[in-house]
A = this chain, B = another copy of it.
């Protein structure tokens, strides 16, 4: 295993320390509970937006903490849900008196622990907590760690759009409805050229021969739909676009928000090339791209590969997507 780490057991804590050092004015990192807070949390009168999950998906979630997006993110061990106590500390820490929204990727441990944290928070502070579970991955129904569909790229969209709605001062019920609407309108499909290597294990999570790729991979190296021979970017683009468009209609007015996301070990030059291929296929299918994002945002450690996420936009979602955001991983308009 070749990684820039010390003891594998210390990776998450040491990375959080580095993040705290790198962003002292923007973030406040609670090292005991492993929660990344925006520096001014809690924001009085604003719905608190909280997410989190296993580490290894950076910049998700800690990189999306800041004005217009998350108020805090809980970091679990690599590919392991944070525990309810972390989520409870984060929930009370972002509660500015208008309630808290939990944005939860659909993995069994995350869902269970966020539910428990919500109950504990309600008992402790009485403040309302709502949850939205993200399940945008069309690749598989049920999987390792998941009942139903997995939550992947749409998590970023929900965090950004719900964060913008909260920043506008909307009440918890409305913010939660918007978050659910984003999840409902989003679909994803991913693929891997290589496996990832979890530091604590030290060897690749799965074996993938030099001449094969895995289509429908999850963000923890969970099995996908199928293995196919190594293919061109053009053909891979088809293998991502086709199942996404087969699962939902994306031709409504308003166009789509398209994310071409790198898995952590794939350089930007390849992601732009893939975006070009995907955009051409969307043209042919009559899908209009209104906004796009290309980069490594929802990663799987050092895995090489990419994913596509589409969200059907409408005027409101577009305005919320375009609203100013200032996080270490996503920043515009301010």
Once the chains bind, are B296 and A11 in contact (CB under 8 Å)? no
**Interface assignment of A236: CB less than 8 Å from any CB of chain B:** yes
- Least Cβ distance of A56 to chain B in Å? 6
Q: Which of A94-141 contact B (CB under 8 A)?
A: none
Candidates B18, B56, B63, B331; contact of A273 at CB < 8 Å: B18
In the complex, which range does the number of interface residues on chain A fall in?
35 or more
Nearest-neighbor residue (CB-CB) of A3 within chain B: B270
- Distance of A65 from chain B, by nearest CB (Å): 13
Chain B residues with CB under 8 Å of A266's CB are 4, 265, 302
Question: Are A56 and B269 in contact, CB atoms less than 8 angstroms apart?
Answer: yes
| A44 at the binding interface (Cβ < 8 Å) | no
**Is the CB of A304 closer than 8 A to any CB of chain B?**
yes
A302-334: CB near B (< 8 Å → 1, else 0) gives 101110000000000000000000100001111
Count the copies.
2
Residue A6 interfacial (CB < 8 Å): yes
Which of chain B's residues have a CB closer than 8 A to the CB of A305?
4
Q: In whole Å, how far is A208's beta carbon from the nearest beta carbon of chain B?
A: 9
Residues of A within 8 A of B (CB): 2-6, 11-12, 14-19, 21-22, 55-56, 58-59, 63, 193-194, 210, 213, 230, 232-234, 236, 260, 264-277, 279, 289, 292, 294, 296, 299, 301-302, 304-306, 326, 331-334
Q: What are 21 A-B contacts with C-beta separation under 8 Å?
A: A2-B213, A2-B230, A4-B233, A6-B233, A15-B270, A17-B276, A18-B272, A18-B273, A19-B275, A21-B276, A21-B279, A22-B294, A58-B269, A265-B266, A265-B302, A266-B302, A267-B301, A268-B299, A269-B301, A331-B331, A331-B332
